[in-house]
Amino acid sequence: MYSTMLPMLAQAKKDGKGVPAFNIHALEVVPMMARTAAEKKCPVILQVSVSTAKYIGFRLLSLMVKDVAGELDIPVALHLDHASKLEDIEGALAGGFSSVMYDGSRLPLDENIANTQKAVKLARDAGASIEAELGIVGRGKIIESYPYTDPDDAVQFVKETGVDALAVGIGTHHGQYKAKTNINLDVLRAIHEKVDTPLVLHGGTGVREEDVRTCIRLGMLKLNFGTELNVSWVRRAKEVFGECEPDESLRELMIRCNDAMADTIRKKIDLVRF
Ligand code: 13P
């Protein structure tokens, strides 16, 4: 069934498990992602960047996710990832998304709080769940000096915004699939001791399996995986499309690529539902 993140995060907290969030880059993978999660009986958050959401169309994407979610016995959320403009949040909510993320992490604390409060109101009015970010998750070239989230700032942030989930900077980087991330578990532990709001792991691809499990124990209930899924699809596509005849069925070719991504999804689900 189509859902916000709220019931999934509440249940995950009770069970001591994580909820996986998988990044969509193209419509083709959507039914496969939701059905693979259902086969594993695992609630799932399907998420898109603003660019992907605009490439597909907010409404078209939400109609597809709602339709496939309707045939399944697991909760499925559609979440906008890293929106730094409130107008994109409005677009997603008007288009039927069940969840959004406002990312003001590059702003001073007071501005991040003020904008997040506006985003929270938009989400609440639409009956959607909302995530925000404090501290910085790296992107692209690895820079070791990204600021970690300050635990006291996190206390103030969740108190003043009332967000449903908080992404924190503990040293992870988006798109890191060639090396493993050195995360700072002491920072995470300090945040977890002071903040009850579910925390979010960004840049899940580069995080060691044992660290993912520790992160869940330390309050990270939403765990984002994007690049590794993309890599598994494209790697298979290079083989499949490289060796095929041009008149082979595009459907059959893409099913083989989807199968590779589904295998990665099953592994990630096993990792967060240990
Ligand atoms: P990765 O692509 O590094 O797995 O990160 C995904 C993510 O955090 C999306 O916000």
Give the integer Cα–Cα distance in Å for 117 and 245: 54
Angle separating helix axes 151-161 and 185-194, nearest 10 degrees:
40
Cα-to-centroid distance, 85 and ligand 1 (Å): 19
Evaluate if residue 143 carries a pLDDT over 60: no
% the chain with pLDDT above 70: 98
Evaluate if residue 7 carries a pLDDT over 80: yes
* Beta bridge mates, 46: 22, 78
Would you say the CB of residue 198 lies under 6 angstroms from ligand 1?
no
Structure tokens, 145: 């000096």
The residue whose CA has the least distance to atom 8 of ligand 1 is 202
pLDDT tens-digit map of 195-254: 999 999 999 999 999 999 999 999 999 999 999 999 999 999 999 999 999 999 999 999
pLDDT tens-digit map of 55-106: 999 999 999 999 999 999 999 999 999 999 999 999 999 999 999 999 999 9
User: H helices of 126-208, where?
Assistant: 151-161, 185-194
Would you say the CB of residue 226 lies under 6 angstroms from ligand 1?
yes
The domains found in the chain, sorted by start residue, are: 6-231+262-272 (3.20.20.70)
Cα-to-centroid distance, 133 and ligand 1 (Å): 13
Would you say the CB of residue 224 lies under 6 angstroms from ligand 1?
yes
Query: Radius of gyration over alpha carbons of the chain, in Å?
Result: 18
Among this protein's residues, is 259 annotated catalytic?
no
Give the integer Cα–Cα distance in Å for 32 and 259: 8
Is residue 34 very low, low, confident or very high in pLDDT (cuts 50, 70, 90)?
A: very high
Is residue 157 very low, low, confident or very high in pLDDT (cuts 50, 70, 90)?
A: very high
The residue whose CA has the least distance to atom 10 of ligand 1 is 202
Would you say the CB of residue 169 lies under 6 angstroms from ligand 1?
no
Of these residues, 15, 73, 81, 153, which one is catalytic?
Answer: 81
